[in-house]
Structure 1
Amino acid sequence: MSLWSSSRSPRANRQTRTIDVLVVGGTWNPGGDGVTETFIHALDTSIFTTRMVAYPAAYGTPVSYADSVAAGKRALLAAVDRSPNPVVLAGYSQGAAVAGDLAAEIGRGAHRGREVIACALIADPRRPAGHYLGDTDPGGYGVVGERPIDGIPTYWAAAPGDPITALPAGNPLRTIADLSAFFSFADANAAVHWAHQMLNTASRNQLQRWWSLDNWRQWAGALAYARGYLFDGRHTDDYIRLGYTTALAQALNRDVANGRL
Protein backbone atom coordinates (compact mmCIF):
# COMPACT_ATOMS: atom_id res chain seq x y z
CA MET A 1 0.00 0.00 0.00
CA SER A 2 1.00 3.64 -0.21
CA LEU A 3 3.44 4.67 2.47
CA TRP A 4 1.87 8.07 2.95
CA SER A 5 -0.94 10.28 1.80
CA SER A 6 -1.35 14.01 2.03
CA SER A 7 -3.27 16.91 0.61
CA ARG A 8 -0.06 18.95 0.44
CA SER A 9 1.82 19.47 -2.82
CA PRO A 10 5.36 18.03 -3.07
CA ARG A 11 8.16 20.58 -2.89
CA ALA A 12 11.14 19.59 -4.95
CA ASN A 13 13.48 21.95 -3.12
CA ARG A 14 13.07 20.21 0.24
CA GLN A 15 16.26 18.21 -0.17
CA THR A 16 18.34 21.39 -0.37
CA ARG A 17 17.33 22.37 3.17
CA THR A 18 18.19 20.87 6.52
CA ILE A 19 15.24 19.09 8.11
CA ASP A 20 14.97 18.66 11.87
CA VAL A 21 13.66 15.32 13.13
CA LEU A 22 12.20 15.75 16.61
CA VAL A 23 12.08 12.34 18.30
CA VAL A 24 9.94 11.47 21.33
CA GLY A 25 11.06 8.36 23.23
CA GLY A 26 8.97 5.55 24.66
CA THR A 27 7.73 4.91 28.19
CA TRP A 28 10.49 5.29 30.80
CA ASN A 29 13.00 6.06 28.05
CA PRO A 30 12.65 9.77 27.26
CA GLY A 31 16.27 9.91 26.13
CA GLY A 32 15.82 7.09 23.64
CA ASP A 33 16.59 3.36 23.53
CA GLY A 34 17.67 0.74 21.01
CA VAL A 35 14.57 1.18 18.86
CA THR A 36 14.80 4.95 18.51
CA GLU A 37 18.59 4.82 18.16
CA THR A 38 18.36 2.37 15.25
CA PHE A 39 15.87 4.67 13.53
CA ILE A 40 18.05 7.75 14.08
CA HIS A 41 21.24 6.06 12.87
CA ALA A 42 19.57 5.05 9.59
CA LEU A 43 18.58 8.63 8.71
CA ASP A 44 20.65 10.44 6.08
CA THR A 45 22.74 12.95 8.03
CA SER A 46 23.23 15.09 4.93
CA ILE A 47 19.50 15.81 5.06
CA PHE A 48 18.38 15.39 8.65
CA THR A 49 19.44 16.59 12.07
CA THR A 50 17.85 14.78 15.00
CA ARG A 51 16.99 15.83 18.52
CA MET A 52 15.32 13.94 21.36
CA VAL A 53 12.50 15.84 23.05
CA ALA A 54 12.39 15.44 26.83
CA TYR A 55 9.08 14.72 28.58
CA PRO A 56 7.97 12.58 31.58
CA ALA A 57 7.61 9.30 29.55
CA ALA A 58 5.73 7.92 32.56
CA TYR A 59 2.98 5.36 33.11
CA GLY A 60 1.55 5.80 36.59
CA THR A 61 4.52 7.27 38.36
CA PRO A 62 5.29 10.09 38.85
CA VAL A 63 2.35 10.97 36.57
CA SER A 64 -0.28 9.05 34.65
CA TYR A 65 0.09 8.01 31.03
CA ALA A 66 -2.53 10.55 29.92
CA ASP A 67 -0.81 13.39 31.77
CA SER A 68 2.57 12.28 30.41
CA VAL A 69 1.27 12.36 26.82
CA ALA A 70 -0.22 15.81 27.39
CA ALA A 71 3.09 17.08 28.78
CA GLY A 72 4.89 15.50 25.82
CA LYS A 73 2.68 17.32 23.34
CA ARG A 74 3.44 20.66 25.00
CA ALA A 75 7.18 19.91 24.97
CA LEU A 76 7.10 18.77 21.34
CA LEU A 77 5.17 21.84 20.19
CA ALA A 78 7.70 24.06 21.97
CA ALA A 79 10.51 22.17 20.20
CA VAL A 80 8.81 22.76 16.85
CA ASP A 81 8.62 26.47 17.64
CA ARG A 82 12.33 26.56 18.46
CA SER A 83 13.35 24.83 15.25
CA PRO A 84 14.63 27.09 12.45
CA ASN A 85 14.02 24.38 9.84
CA PRO A 86 11.16 22.27 8.48
CA VAL A 87 10.31 19.52 10.96
CA VAL A 88 9.55 15.81 10.97
CA LEU A 89 7.75 14.59 14.09
CA ALA A 90 8.82 11.11 15.18
CA GLY A 91 8.15 8.87 18.16
CA TYR A 92 8.19 5.37 19.55
CA SER A 93 5.40 3.78 21.62
CA GLN A 94 4.17 6.42 24.10
CA GLY A 95 6.31 8.89 22.15
CA ALA A 96 4.43 7.89 18.99
CA ALA A 97 1.18 8.76 20.75
CA VAL A 98 2.65 12.19 21.52
CA ALA A 99 4.00 12.84 18.01
CA GLY A 100 0.96 11.38 16.26
CA ASP A 101 -1.55 13.33 18.35
CA LEU A 102 0.29 16.59 17.67
CA ALA A 103 0.56 15.80 13.94
CA ALA A 104 -3.17 15.10 13.82
CA GLU A 105 -3.91 18.45 15.46
CA ILE A 106 -1.62 20.32 13.07
CA GLY A 107 -3.12 18.45 10.12
CA ARG A 108 -6.58 19.61 11.21
CA GLY A 109 -5.42 23.21 11.14
CA ALA A 110 -4.52 23.73 14.80
CA HIS A 111 -1.19 25.35 15.76
CA ARG A 112 -0.98 27.29 12.51
CA GLY A 113 2.34 28.51 11.21
CA ARG A 114 4.32 25.37 12.09
CA GLU A 115 6.17 23.78 9.18
CA VAL A 116 5.74 20.07 9.89
CA ILE A 117 6.40 18.18 6.67
CA ALA A 118 6.03 14.55 7.84
CA CYS A 119 5.41 12.25 10.78
CA ALA A 120 7.19 8.93 11.46
CA LEU A 121 5.68 6.65 14.11
CA ILE A 122 7.01 3.40 15.57
CA ALA A 123 4.60 1.15 17.50
CA ASP A 124 1.94 3.85 17.70
CA PRO A 125 -0.71 3.01 20.36
CA ARG A 126 -3.26 4.88 18.23
CA ARG A 127 -2.36 3.53 14.76
CA PRO A 128 -5.41 3.31 12.48
CA ALA A 129 -6.18 -0.06 10.93
CA GLY A 130 -4.74 -0.49 7.45
CA HIS A 131 -1.94 2.05 7.83
CA TYR A 132 1.52 0.50 7.86
CA LEU A 133 4.93 0.63 6.24
CA GLY A 134 5.71 -2.04 3.66
CA ASP A 135 3.65 -4.76 2.03
CA THR A 136 2.50 -6.86 5.02
CA ASP A 137 -0.47 -5.73 7.10
CA PRO A 138 0.36 -6.36 10.80
CA GLY A 139 -3.36 -6.53 11.52
CA GLY A 140 -5.43 -4.87 14.21
CA TYR A 141 -4.91 -1.30 15.31
CA GLY A 142 -3.61 0.65 18.31
CA VAL A 143 -4.37 -0.58 21.82
CA VAL A 144 -6.00 2.70 22.83
CA GLY A 145 -7.94 3.14 19.59
CA GLU A 146 -7.48 4.73 16.16
CA ARG A 147 -6.33 8.25 15.37
CA PRO A 148 -6.21 9.28 11.70
CA ILE A 149 -3.67 11.88 10.57
CA ASP A 150 -4.70 13.98 7.59
CA GLY A 151 -2.79 16.73 5.82
CA ILE A 152 0.66 15.54 6.90
CA PRO A 153 2.46 12.59 5.23
CA THR A 154 2.65 9.91 7.94
CA TYR A 155 4.62 6.66 8.08
CA TRP A 156 3.70 3.89 10.51
CA ALA A 157 6.11 1.08 11.46
CA ALA A 158 4.10 -1.72 13.08
CA ALA A 159 5.38 -5.21 13.91
CA PRO A 160 2.91 -8.11 13.70
CA GLY A 161 2.04 -9.41 17.16
CA ASP A 162 2.84 -6.14 18.92
CA PRO A 163 -0.21 -5.54 21.15
CA ILE A 164 0.55 -1.84 21.50
CA THR A 165 0.02 -1.06 17.81
CA ALA A 166 -1.40 -4.19 16.12
CA LEU A 167 -3.99 -5.51 18.58
CA PRO A 168 -7.10 -7.25 17.19
CA ALA A 169 -10.37 -5.40 17.77
CA GLY A 170 -11.71 -8.15 20.03
CA ASN A 171 -8.71 -8.48 22.35
CA PRO A 172 -9.54 -7.96 26.07
CA LEU A 173 -6.24 -6.11 26.62
CA ARG A 174 -8.06 -3.03 25.31
CA THR A 175 -9.86 -2.63 28.64
CA ILE A 176 -6.53 -2.44 30.48
CA ALA A 177 -5.48 0.43 28.21
CA ASP A 178 -8.81 2.20 28.68
CA LEU A 179 -8.78 1.99 32.46
CA SER A 180 -5.08 2.63 33.09
CA ALA A 181 -4.64 5.83 31.05
CA PHE A 182 -5.05 8.00 34.16
CA PHE A 183 -3.54 5.47 36.58
CA SER A 184 -1.28 6.98 39.20
CA PHE A 185 -0.57 6.26 42.84
CA ALA A 186 1.93 9.08 43.20
CA ASP A 187 -0.20 10.36 46.10
CA ALA A 188 -3.74 10.09 47.47
CA ASN A 189 -5.07 12.82 45.19
CA ALA A 190 -3.67 11.05 42.14
CA ALA A 191 -5.39 7.81 43.13
CA VAL A 192 -8.72 9.59 43.58
CA HIS A 193 -8.30 11.30 40.21
CA TRP A 194 -7.71 7.91 38.57
CA ALA A 195 -10.88 6.51 40.13
CA HIS A 196 -12.93 9.48 38.91
CA GLN A 197 -11.54 9.18 35.39
CA MET A 198 -12.33 5.45 35.25
CA LEU A 199 -15.93 6.17 36.27
CA ASN A 200 -16.19 8.97 33.70
CA THR A 201 -14.84 6.74 30.94
CA ALA A 202 -17.33 4.00 31.76
CA SER A 203 -20.32 6.30 32.28
CA ARG A 204 -19.71 8.10 28.98
CA ASN A 205 -19.60 4.77 27.14
CA GLN A 206 -16.03 5.45 26.02
CA LEU A 207 -14.70 1.96 26.70
CA GLN A 208 -13.60 0.09 23.59
CA ARG A 209 -16.21 -2.57 22.89
CA TRP A 210 -13.87 -5.52 22.43
CA TRP A 211 -16.60 -7.76 23.82
CA SER A 212 -18.88 -7.17 20.81
CA LEU A 213 -20.15 -10.46 19.40
CA ASP A 214 -18.64 -9.41 16.07
CA ASN A 215 -15.21 -9.98 17.68
CA TRP A 216 -15.84 -13.27 19.49
CA ARG A 217 -13.22 -15.17 17.48
CA GLN A 218 -10.52 -12.89 18.92
CA TRP A 219 -11.48 -13.06 22.60
CA ALA A 220 -9.00 -15.83 23.45
CA GLY A 221 -5.93 -13.96 22.21
CA ALA A 222 -5.09 -11.84 25.24
CA LEU A 223 -2.55 -14.28 26.72
CA ALA A 224 -0.61 -14.66 23.46
CA TYR A 225 -0.40 -10.91 22.90
CA ALA A 226 0.57 -10.29 26.51
CA ARG A 227 3.35 -12.86 26.20
CA GLY A 228 4.51 -11.24 22.97
CA TYR A 229 4.78 -7.92 24.77
CA LEU A 230 6.35 -9.17 28.01
CA PHE A 231 8.67 -11.93 26.84
CA ASP A 232 8.95 -12.27 23.05
CA GLY A 233 10.14 -8.80 22.05
CA ARG A 234 7.20 -8.01 19.79
CA HIS A 235 7.20 -4.39 21.02
CA THR A 236 10.96 -3.98 21.24
CA ASP A 237 13.46 -6.36 19.62
CA ASP A 238 11.33 -7.14 16.55
CA TYR A 239 11.54 -3.53 15.36
CA ILE A 240 15.31 -3.81 15.20
CA ARG A 241 15.71 -7.50 14.30
CA LEU A 242 13.15 -7.42 11.47
CA GLY A 243 14.30 -4.05 10.12
CA TYR A 244 11.18 -1.95 10.74
CA THR A 245 13.03 1.03 12.20
CA THR A 246 15.63 1.02 9.43
CA ALA A 247 12.91 0.78 6.76
CA LEU A 248 11.12 3.74 8.33
CA ALA A 249 14.24 5.91 8.15
CA GLN A 250 14.96 4.76 4.59
CA ALA A 251 11.45 5.73 3.50
CA LEU A 252 12.05 9.26 4.79
CA ASN A 253 15.48 9.39 3.12
CA ARG A 254 14.01 8.28 -0.20
CA ASP A 255 10.99 10.57 -0.21
CA VAL A 256 13.01 13.64 0.66
CA ALA A 257 15.56 12.80 -2.03
CA ASN A 258 12.74 12.33 -4.55
CA GLY A 259 11.12 15.64 -3.62
CA ARG A 260 8.00 14.08 -2.13
CA LEU A 261 8.41 15.90 1.16
Structure 2
Amino acid sequence: MVGGTWNPAGDGVTGAFIEALNKAMFTARMVPYPADYGSKLSYTASVAEGKRALLAAIDRSPNPVVLAGYSQGAAVAGDLAAEIGRGEHPGREVVACALIADPRRPAGRYLGDIDPGGHGVVGEREIDGIPTYWAAAPGDPITALPAGNPLRTIADLSAFFSFSGADAALTWGQQMLHTATRNQLQRWWSPANWRQWGGAIAYARGYLFDGRHTDDYVRCGHARALAQALNLDVAEGRI
Protein backbone atom coordinates (compact mmCIF):
# COMPACT_ATOMS: atom_id res chain seq x y z
CA MET A 1 0.00 0.00 0.00
CA VAL A 2 1.35 3.42 -1.00
CA GLY A 3 0.03 6.46 0.88
CA GLY A 4 -1.06 9.83 -0.45
CA THR A 5 0.77 13.15 -0.63
CA TRP A 6 2.51 14.04 2.66
CA ASN A 7 1.19 10.84 4.24
CA PRO A 8 3.70 8.10 3.36
CA ALA A 9 2.82 6.18 6.56
CA GLY A 10 -0.88 6.23 5.70
CA ASP A 11 -3.97 8.09 6.89
CA GLY A 12 -7.66 7.52 7.50
CA VAL A 13 -8.36 6.53 3.90
CA THR A 14 -5.59 3.94 3.65
CA GLY A 15 -6.48 2.77 7.16
CA ALA A 16 -10.12 2.18 6.21
CA PHE A 17 -9.06 0.16 3.18
CA ILE A 18 -6.55 -1.95 5.11
CA GLU A 19 -8.95 -2.56 7.99
CA ALA A 20 -11.56 -3.97 5.60
CA LEU A 21 -9.19 -6.48 3.99
CA ASN A 22 -9.68 -10.12 4.95
CA LYS A 23 -6.75 -10.79 7.30
CA ALA A 24 -6.79 -14.47 6.41
CA MET A 25 -6.05 -13.55 2.78
CA PHE A 26 -3.94 -10.39 2.98
CA THR A 27 -1.04 -9.03 4.97
CA ALA A 28 -0.92 -5.27 4.41
CA ARG A 29 2.34 -3.32 4.31
CA MET A 30 2.78 0.42 3.83
CA VAL A 31 5.64 1.19 1.44
CA PRO A 32 7.54 4.35 2.46
CA TYR A 33 8.43 6.91 -0.21
CA PRO A 34 8.79 10.74 -0.27
CA ALA A 35 5.07 11.47 -0.89
CA ASP A 36 6.12 15.05 -1.69
CA TYR A 37 4.56 17.72 -3.87
CA GLY A 38 7.07 20.50 -4.34
CA SER A 39 8.56 21.12 -0.89
CA LYS A 40 11.76 19.14 -1.56
CA LEU A 41 10.83 17.01 -4.55
CA SER A 42 8.44 17.66 -7.40
CA TYR A 43 5.36 15.48 -7.76
CA THR A 44 6.93 13.77 -10.78
CA ALA A 45 10.17 13.02 -8.91
CA SER A 46 8.24 11.77 -5.87
CA VAL A 47 6.20 9.37 -8.01
CA ALA A 48 9.41 8.08 -9.62
CA GLU A 49 10.94 7.46 -6.18
CA GLY A 50 7.74 5.74 -5.11
CA LYS A 51 7.84 3.38 -8.07
CA ARG A 52 11.42 2.38 -7.21
CA ALA A 53 10.45 1.76 -3.57
CA LEU A 54 7.38 -0.25 -4.56
CA LEU A 55 9.34 -2.38 -7.02
CA ALA A 56 11.86 -3.15 -4.27
CA ALA A 57 9.01 -4.09 -1.92
CA ILE A 58 7.63 -6.51 -4.52
CA ASP A 59 11.05 -8.14 -4.78
CA ARG A 60 11.22 -8.57 -1.00
CA SER A 61 7.83 -10.26 -0.75
CA PRO A 62 7.78 -14.07 -0.70
CA ASN A 63 4.10 -14.03 -1.73
CA PRO A 64 2.02 -12.93 -4.72
CA VAL A 65 1.36 -9.19 -4.48
CA VAL A 66 -1.59 -6.85 -4.80
CA LEU A 67 -0.49 -3.27 -5.45
CA ALA A 68 -2.63 -0.62 -3.79
CA GLY A 69 -2.43 3.15 -3.42
CA TYR A 70 -4.31 6.29 -2.53
CA SER A 71 -4.02 9.65 -4.36
CA GLN A 72 -0.34 10.19 -5.26
CA GLY A 73 0.21 6.63 -4.04
CA ALA A 74 -2.38 5.46 -6.57
CA ALA A 75 -0.33 7.14 -9.29
CA VAL A 76 2.71 5.21 -8.04
CA ALA A 77 0.95 1.85 -7.81
CA GLY A 78 -1.04 2.31 -11.02
CA ASP A 79 1.92 3.43 -13.10
CA LEU A 80 4.01 0.48 -11.89
CA ALA A 81 1.14 -1.95 -12.50
CA ALA A 82 0.81 -0.64 -16.05
CA GLU A 83 4.54 -1.16 -16.63
CA ILE A 84 4.43 -4.69 -15.20
CA GLY A 85 1.36 -5.44 -17.32
CA ARG A 86 3.35 -4.39 -20.39
CA GLY A 87 6.13 -6.78 -19.44
CA GLU A 88 8.64 -4.11 -18.42
CA HIS A 89 9.52 -5.77 -15.09
CA PRO A 90 9.56 -9.53 -15.73
CA GLY A 91 9.45 -12.01 -12.89
CA ARG A 92 7.21 -9.96 -10.57
CA GLU A 93 4.05 -11.79 -9.48
CA VAL A 94 1.45 -9.02 -9.21
CA VAL A 95 -2.03 -10.49 -9.20
CA ALA A 96 -4.17 -7.34 -8.86
CA CYS A 97 -4.13 -3.57 -8.38
CA ALA A 98 -6.46 -1.50 -6.18
CA LEU A 99 -6.47 2.28 -6.61
CA ILE A 100 -8.21 4.93 -4.51
CA ALA A 101 -8.57 8.47 -5.96
CA ASP A 102 -6.15 7.71 -8.80
CA PRO A 103 -4.94 10.94 -10.49
CA ARG A 104 -4.68 8.96 -13.74
CA ARG A 105 -7.95 7.02 -13.59
CA PRO A 106 -9.33 6.37 -17.08
CA ALA A 107 -12.87 7.52 -17.81
CA GLY A 108 -15.46 4.82 -17.21
CA ARG A 109 -13.31 2.84 -14.77
CA TYR A 110 -14.93 2.76 -11.35
CA LEU A 111 -16.24 0.49 -8.61
CA GLY A 112 -19.95 0.20 -7.94
CA ASP A 113 -23.03 1.33 -9.81
CA ILE A 114 -22.48 5.11 -9.93
CA ASP A 115 -20.12 6.58 -12.52
CA PRO A 116 -18.28 9.45 -10.79
CA GLY A 117 -17.69 11.04 -14.21
CA GLY A 118 -14.60 12.63 -15.68
CA HIS A 119 -11.15 11.12 -15.33
CA GLY A 120 -7.89 11.74 -13.46
CA VAL A 121 -6.59 15.29 -13.15
CA VAL A 122 -3.19 14.23 -14.54
CA GLY A 123 -4.70 12.33 -17.46
CA GLU A 124 -5.65 8.73 -18.20
CA ARG A 125 -3.66 5.52 -17.92
CA GLU A 126 -4.94 2.07 -18.83
CA ILE A 127 -3.65 -1.02 -17.03
CA ASP A 128 -3.62 -4.18 -19.11
CA GLY A 129 -2.77 -7.70 -17.98
CA ILE A 130 -3.44 -7.07 -14.26
CA PRO A 131 -6.97 -6.97 -12.81
CA THR A 132 -7.44 -3.43 -11.53
CA TYR A 133 -10.09 -1.88 -9.28
CA TRP A 134 -10.73 1.87 -9.02
CA ALA A 135 -12.54 3.67 -6.17
CA ALA A 136 -13.52 7.20 -7.20
CA ALA A 137 -15.74 9.56 -5.22
CA PRO A 138 -18.08 11.79 -7.25
CA GLY A 139 -16.90 15.39 -7.10
CA ASP A 140 -13.27 14.49 -6.33
CA PRO A 141 -11.24 16.65 -8.74
CA ILE A 142 -8.15 14.47 -8.39
CA THR A 143 -9.77 11.41 -9.94
CA ALA A 144 -13.17 12.46 -11.37
CA LEU A 145 -12.53 15.82 -13.04
CA PRO A 146 -14.47 16.67 -16.23
CA ALA A 147 -12.30 16.79 -19.33
CA GLY A 148 -13.04 20.49 -19.84
CA ASN A 149 -12.28 21.68 -16.30
CA PRO A 150 -9.60 24.41 -16.09
CA LEU A 151 -8.12 22.82 -12.94
CA ARG A 152 -6.24 20.50 -15.30
CA THR A 153 -3.81 23.34 -15.99
CA ILE A 154 -2.76 23.34 -12.33
CA ALA A 155 -1.82 19.67 -12.55
CA ASP A 156 0.14 20.26 -15.76
CA LEU A 157 2.02 23.28 -14.43
CA SER A 158 2.82 21.90 -10.96
CA ALA A 159 3.94 18.37 -11.85
CA PHE A 160 7.63 19.31 -12.02
CA PHE A 161 7.62 22.20 -9.55
CA SER A 162 9.75 22.22 -6.40
CA PHE A 163 10.70 24.84 -3.80
CA SER A 164 14.05 23.18 -3.14
CA GLY A 165 16.21 25.77 -4.93
CA ALA A 166 17.22 27.60 -8.10
CA ASP A 167 18.20 24.41 -9.91
CA ALA A 168 14.75 22.97 -9.25
CA ALA A 169 13.10 26.12 -10.60
CA LEU A 170 15.22 25.89 -13.76
CA THR A 171 14.29 22.22 -14.17
CA TRP A 172 10.61 23.11 -13.78
CA GLY A 173 10.86 25.74 -16.52
CA GLN A 174 12.70 23.38 -18.85
CA GLN A 175 10.17 20.61 -18.31
CA MET A 176 7.25 22.96 -18.90
CA LEU A 177 8.80 24.13 -22.16
CA HIS A 178 9.42 20.52 -23.16
CA THR A 179 5.84 19.53 -22.32
CA ALA A 180 4.36 22.48 -24.21
CA THR A 181 6.49 22.07 -27.33
CA ARG A 182 5.66 18.35 -27.48
CA ASN A 183 1.94 19.25 -27.28
CA GLN A 184 1.52 17.24 -24.06
CA LEU A 185 -0.54 19.78 -22.12
CA GLN A 186 -4.10 18.62 -21.49
CA ARG A 187 -6.40 20.41 -23.93
CA TRP A 188 -9.23 21.20 -21.53
CA TRP A 189 -9.89 24.34 -23.57
CA SER A 190 -10.79 22.32 -26.67
CA PRO A 191 -14.13 23.48 -28.18
CA ALA A 192 -15.31 19.88 -27.81
CA ASN A 193 -15.26 20.43 -24.03
CA TRP A 194 -16.94 23.83 -23.91
CA ARG A 195 -19.94 22.58 -21.93
CA GLN A 196 -17.58 21.60 -19.11
CA TRP A 197 -15.52 24.80 -18.93
CA GLY A 198 -17.41 26.00 -15.86
CA GLY A 199 -17.32 24.32 -12.48
CA ALA A 200 -13.70 24.91 -11.50
CA ILE A 201 -14.74 26.73 -8.31
CA ALA A 202 -17.13 23.96 -7.29
CA TYR A 203 -14.50 21.26 -7.78
CA ALA A 204 -11.87 23.32 -5.98
CA ARG A 205 -14.26 23.79 -3.06
CA GLY A 206 -14.97 20.06 -3.02
CA TYR A 207 -11.24 19.43 -2.70
CA LEU A 208 -10.40 22.17 -0.20
CA PHE A 209 -13.43 22.25 2.07
CA ASP A 210 -15.93 19.45 1.42
CA GLY A 211 -13.73 16.37 1.78
CA ARG A 212 -14.42 14.99 -1.68
CA HIS A 213 -10.82 13.76 -1.95
CA THR A 214 -10.44 12.68 1.67
CA ASP A 215 -13.39 12.19 4.03
CA ASP A 216 -15.77 10.86 1.35
CA TYR A 217 -13.67 7.73 0.88
CA VAL A 218 -14.29 6.83 4.52
CA ARG A 219 -17.75 8.25 5.28
CA CYS A 220 -19.28 7.06 2.00
CA GLY A 221 -17.61 3.66 2.21
CA HIS A 222 -15.57 3.80 -1.03
CA ALA A 223 -12.34 2.54 0.57
CA ARG A 224 -14.12 -0.27 2.38
CA ALA A 225 -16.00 -1.30 -0.77
CA LEU A 226 -12.72 -1.54 -2.67
CA ALA A 227 -11.27 -3.89 -0.08
CA GLN A 228 -14.45 -5.96 -0.04
CA ALA A 229 -14.30 -6.35 -3.82
CA LEU A 230 -10.77 -7.74 -3.47
CA ASN A 231 -11.85 -10.05 -0.65
CA LEU A 232 -14.68 -11.46 -2.75
CA ASP A 233 -12.69 -11.99 -5.93
CA VAL A 234 -9.85 -13.72 -4.08
CA ALA A 235 -12.30 -15.91 -2.16
CA GLU A 236 -14.05 -16.93 -5.38
CA GLY A 237 -10.80 -17.51 -7.26
CA ARG A 238 -11.13 -14.72 -9.82
CA ILE A 239 -7.70 -13.36 -8.91
TM-score when scaled to structure 1? 0.91
Distance 1:214 1:187 in 2: 39
Aligned-pair CA distance for 1:203 = 1.2
Aligned residue for 1:50, secondary structure, equals: coil
- Counterpart of 1:210 (choices 167, 172, 188) is 188
- CA deviations 1:145-166 (Å, max 9, x no partner) are 0000000000000000000000
Alignment of 1:52-201 (within 5 A): 52-201=30-179
Distance 1:41 1:87 in 2: 17
- CA deviations 1:116-162 (Å, max 9, x no partner) are 00000000000000000001100000000000000000000000000
Distance 1:257 1:206 in 2: 42
Instruction: Tell me which residue corresponds to 1:40.
Output: 18
Aligned residue for 2:139, secondary structure, equals: coil
Aligned residue for 1:89, secondary structure, equals: strand
Structure 2, unmatched stretches of 5+, are: none
1:225 aligns with 2:203: yes
Aligned-pair CA distance for 1:204 = 1.0
What value does the CA root-mean-square deviation take over the aligned residues? 0.5
The amino acid that maps onto 1:174 is: R
Instruction: Tell me which residue corresponds to 2:220.
Output: 242
Aligned residue for 2:5, secondary structure, equals: coil
- CA deviations 1:166-203 (Å, max 9, x no partner) are 00000000011011100002011011111111111111
Aligned-pair CA distance for 1:220 = 1.1
Aligned residue for 1:164, secondary structure, equals: coil
Distance 2:34 2:169 in 1: 18
Structure 1, unmatched stretches of 5+, are: 1-22
1:254 aligns with 2:204: no
TM-score when scaled to structure 2? 0.99
Runs of 4+ residues deviating >2 angstroms: none
Distance 2:112 2:130 in 1: 19
Aligned residue for 1:88, secondary structure, equals: strand
Aligned positions, number: 239
Aligned-pair CA distance for 1:110 = 1.0
Aligned residue for 2:29, secondary structure, equals: strand
The amino acid that maps onto 1:176 is: I
Distance 2:79 2:225 in 1: 22
